[in-house]
Amino acid sequence: MTSLTTQPTTTLNNGVTMPMVGFGVFQIPDPAVCQTAVEEAIATGYRLIDTAEAYQNEEAVGCAIATSIEKGIVTRDELFITTKAFIQHISYAGIKEAFAASLEKLGLDYIDLYLLHQPVGDTFGAWRAMEELYMEGKVRAIGVSNFEDDQVANLSIFNEITPAVNQIELHVFNQKTASVDYQLSKGVQVESWGAFAEGRFDVFRNPTLVSIAEKYGKSTAQVMLRWQLQRGIVSLSKSANPERVRANFSIFDFALTDEDMAAIAELNTNTTVFADHHEAATVELLAGRVGKKF
């Protein structure tokens, strides 16, 4: 097992320390499978666990946390737990309701990082509620997900607290270099989702990634995660396969060269693997999921 002393961390804009490599549970809806996967992740050494109310597995994550603590594998203060409010709750009152529900499902006394899952709805009202939760000590840091640079700037300038984190789609085919540079310059930690491009475009067999992986005796997945780490980006990986869970954490014993990083940079096509979150049609689609129509 990788020593936890070798796991890199980042310091958020409020002084809170966050692990750079995390385990996500998107698309693991089965409670038993999710709980087992999270327990395996914690036993492997992951300390950042990422969920959301929209994933419908917060209870399973909470059970995994409780079991891991009971077994003496980890203590609560060693974990960094993230969850997110979905768009039906992105309002002042909605955030208060959603946060209380997530806290209960997770079985926790506080959340380490709480995010607005989408830039849809009353984001300003929601952010004021987030600020209150932070000031009350119920959450250690607050942030956003899927926000563009202008939306992060707008939210920051006209509120008291700048988001600590922005979790965005980011992978070798959608590298967002300018956005990453801008947000990091403003003290907003960039965190990626979709680190493996959801397996699309035959990414695991991409010749450039395969060549680099063979040089280090690593997998293409490990190369992609290491690439994110060396860019200063917090990354999330997800798998219900124990071997892959462990492999995706084994990225601290090698480093990519400048030549490797440059070769991977050439893979960028600014291609999203999902619908563009900032197109009107996507906003309408998301709103329709919670009964809102235009």
DSSP state of 174: B
Q: For residue 181, which amino acid is it?
A: D
Asked if residue 168 lies in contact with residue 189, where contact means CB atoms within 8 angstroms, the answer is: no
278 in a known ligand binding site: no
- Calpha distance 168→181 (Å, rounded): 14
- Contact between 252 and 8 under an 8 Å Cβ cutoff? The reply is yes
Task: Give the list of residues 6+ apart from residue 239 with CB closer than 8 angstroms, or none.
Answer: 37, 245, 248
What is the C-alpha separation between 29 and 166, in angstroms, rounded? 24
The pair of structure tokens assigned to 154 is: 């707008």
The residue type found at 248 is N
Q: Cβ neighbours of residue 32 under 8 Å, at least 6 residues apart?
A: 60
The conformational region for residue 26 under phi > 0 = left, psi -120 to 50 = alpha, else beta, is: beta
Yes or no: say if 132 and 93 are a contact pair by the CB < 8 Å rule: no
The radius of gyration of the chain from alpha carbons, rounded to an integer in Å, stands at 18
Catalytic center residues:
55
Can you say how many angstroms the Cα of residue 52 is from the centroid of all Cα atoms in its chain? Answer: 10
Contact yes or no for 49/82 (Cβ under 8 A): yes
Which residues are documented as binding site for substrate? 117
Residues marked as binding?
117
